Amino acid sequence: MSDLEDPLYKNWVRSALSLKYLKHGIHSFVDRIAKQHHKDLLFGYRKDTGCAAKSCCECTSENLLPDHPRNGCIQKFRSKCFCNNTGGRRKCPNHFCSRFYDLIVRAHDERNPIWANTDPARWFGDHWATSQCFLGTTGYSDKHTAVETDASGLLSIILNNIELRSHLDCPDNVSKARDIRNEIMHSTSFEVDDEKLCWYVDQMILVLQDKKELINEEAAKNAVVNLTKLKRNQIYISEEDVSEMRRGALSAAQDGIKHIEKKTDEVMHRIEVKRKQVHEDIDAHFAKKMREQDKQMDDKNIQTVDESDVDNEAVELTAEEKGKRVEQI
């Protein structure tokens, strides 16, 4: 029996195919808004500095130091910021990349850009190099355009970029679509029942018919037509489709591992911060206790000195009295 004769497996292939239609429906939209956002960032640079941004090809992820000071890091996790390890780093000699770095961080919804996908030398002239900072996982450094980027990457860019997100009426639908994508591509059974398939497709249609702008996009309209056909079983699934979807799932599994590694890094960072905090609290507690003990000791010593003074006075008085007695005799 061919794999495609298994209806549940065939539905999984359809589900994976629906992600392809979703991607085709949104990539031109994402690209257009990302291009405008890049222009806005360059304009923001000009507004802040009073001079036009200059092209720079001297900065890399290894030598660039951001504009913000290390003790005032603006990134969610300083351990992931270029300011964390200053060795071998310097500010941009063309006064562009350091400041642009900070503009990118501030444009990120969680102030948590991933720098591994991008190349600072391309920030000035290539809007997609800026968009790559808003991806949710690594593995996209060789995807230099929106068309080359898969649905998961495009959805992450929309959600993580404050400006792109503002072009949506309902970002929650995009979040749901991203979760669905993970459910499909990380499936271990490769089986989807009819009801689930319909739900997946309907959720993707909700994204493509977002009331603010996407609903008027030609590509989004075409994608809705294809998704509706897919749901009604009117699209022929070929063995080629099967191979392509399987390759996609394999690559997604590798991305999933990278995502777990990223989450592990974040958890490790939080544990490290907490550990430092606990140590500081313990040190502060003991320092306070020591100060209290020192104070008690000082108070006790003062008291002892006072008491011995009284005793001495008593001795002196006794001697005086003795003298008086001697005189009397």
Binding site for Zn ion (CB under 5 A): 56, 59, 73, 75, 81, 83, 92, 94, 97
The first and second tokens of residue 317, run together, are 């008085």
> Closest CB to Zn ion among 101 and 134?
101
C-alpha to C-alpha distance for 70 and 81, rounded to whole angstroms: 9
> Closest CB to Zn ion among 81 and 180?
81
| Least Å from the CB of residue 52 to Zn ion | 15
The H-or-E segment that residue 123 falls in is none
Q: Which residues contact 4 (CB under 8 A, 6 or more apart)?
A: 10, 13, 237, 239, 242
118 contacts 138 by C-beta, under 8 angstroms: no
| Least Å from the CB of residue 106 to Zn ion | 12
Count the neighbouring beta carbons within 10 Å of the beta carbon of residue 226.
19
DSSP 3-state of 83:
coil
| Least Å from the CB of residue 244 to Zn ion | 39
- φ, ψ for residue 80 (rounded to 5)? -100, 0
> Closest CB to Zn ion among 12 and 82?
82
> Closest CB to Zn ion among 53 and 73?
73
Q: Which residues contact 34 (CB under 8 A, 6 or more apart)?
A: 127, 128, 130, 131, 146, 157, 161, 164
| Least Å from the CB of residue 76 to Zn ion | 10
C-alpha to C-alpha distance for 226 and 228, rounded to whole angstroms: 5
| Least Å from the CB of residue 81 to Zn ion | 3
222 contacts 40 by C-beta, under 8 angstroms: no
> Closest CB to Zn ion among 94 and 203?
94
Q: Which residues contact 249 (CB under 8 A, 6 or more apart)?
A: 16, 185, 187, 190
| Least Å from the CB of residue 88 to Zn ion | 15
| Least Å from the CB of residue 260 to Zn ion | 25
> Closest CB to Zn ion among 57 and 147?
57
DSSP 3-state of 161:
strand
| Least Å from the CB of residue 57 to Zn ion | 8
Beta bridge partners of 64: 90
> Closest CB to Zn ion among 101 and 128?
101
> Closest CB to Zn ion among 160 and 173?
160
DSSP for 192-230, please give it: --HHHHHHHHHHHHHHHT-TTTGGG-HHHHHHHHHHHHH
